[in-house]
Amino acid sequence: MAALLEVRKLEAFYGPTRVLEGIDFEVAEGGITTILGANGAGKTTTLRALSGLVRRTGEIRLAGQRIDGHSTEKTAALGIAHVPDGRGTLVNMTVEENLRVGAYLRRGKAEVEQDMARMFGYFPRLRERRGQQAGTLSGGEQQMLAISRALMQRPRLLLMDEPSFGLAPLVIREIFEIMRVVNREEGVGILLVEQNVARALEIADHAWLLETGRTVISGTAKQLRDDAQIRRSYLGF
């Protein structure tokens, strides 16, 4: 399958400190790739670097087009949506306003309305709470809103940082199911950072392991599930 995202020699910096040491990876068109790694390995930083939220060097291509010279806003306009850790909903705005903010780069009012209805179809709880302030939603509802807001951009690639963090198992299952639907039915590629490694390897087709800013293992999700180091360190058996 062709690469939707191609990353070469990606380095990222906080001030003078280099946190990513030249990593290479791809996300296939319509694929789900997961980044595994211990705390502090650089997973969140990888997503931030792709969105242009931290200083970076290296090559990033989206559907063959170089995007590493672009601002965060331009990157979003070209089709990369980021659901950050901590969710990043606009807490003083309502559910509906958050969704409209997600669509701010788009024209086509009728399509935006249709997409909003689609989000409410994915997550009926958001429909019931469309007039509620985002800051008063439960953690699970906030995650649903963060994902929906990102999808309102109509992205080609969704960057997801720890979507299950702090959520109850039933809500996690619901969110992963919608990710699968979005990937299969809308063809949105997903790059997933997830501390629940078993779940991440279940949904992903490819995976790679990051250790202190370097890629140490990469392969299909099955290969990584079967890898002794991954099993011992991340799956606990």
Residue 40 contacts ligand ATP per CB under 6 A: yes
d(CA 83, CA 188): 14
For residue 46, the minimal CB distance to ligand ATP (Å) is 7
For residue 20, the minimal CB distance to ligand ATP (Å) is 8
Residue 37 contacts ligand ATP per CB under 6 A: yes
Question: Three-state secondary structure along the chain?
Answer: CCEEEEEEEEEEEECCEEEEEEEEEEEECCCEEEEEECCCCCHHHHHHHHHCCCEEEEEEEECCEECCCCCHHHHHHHCEEEECCCCCCCCCCEHHHHHHHHCCCCCCHHHHHHHHHHHHHHCHHHHHCCCCEHHHCCHHHHHHHHHHHHHCCCCCEEEEECCCCCCCHHHHHHHHHHHHHHHHHHCCEEEEECCCHHHHHHHCCEEEEEECCEEEEEEEHHHHHCCHHHHHHHHCC
Residue 44 contacts ligand ATP per CB under 6 A: yes
Binding residue (CB under 6 A) for ligand ATP from 23, 27, 31, 45: 45
For residue 39, the minimal CB distance to ligand ATP (Å) is 3
Residue 52 contacts ligand ATP per CB under 6 A: no
For residue 40, the minimal CB distance to ligand ATP (Å) is 4
Residue 197 contacts ligand ATP per CB under 6 A: no
148/218 with CB nearer ligand ATP? 218
Residue 19 contacts ligand ATP per CB under 6 A: yes
Residue 137 contacts ligand ATP per CB under 6 A: no
For residue 111, the minimal CB distance to ligand ATP (Å) is 34
Q: Contact 103/112 with Cβ under 8 angstroms? A: yes
Give the Cβ contact number of residue 165 at 10 Å: 16
Residue 104 contacts ligand ATP per CB under 6 A: no
* Residue range at the interface with ligand ATP (CB under 6 A); choices 37-45, 68-76, 146-154, 223-231: 37-45
43/154 with CB nearer ligand ATP? 43
Residue 148 contacts ligand ATP per CB under 6 A: no
For residue 74, the minimal CB distance to ligand ATP (Å) is 22
Binding residue (CB under 6 A) for ligand ATP from 32, 33, 42, 148: 42
Q: List contacts with ligand ATP (CB under 6 A).
A: 14, 19, 37, 39-45
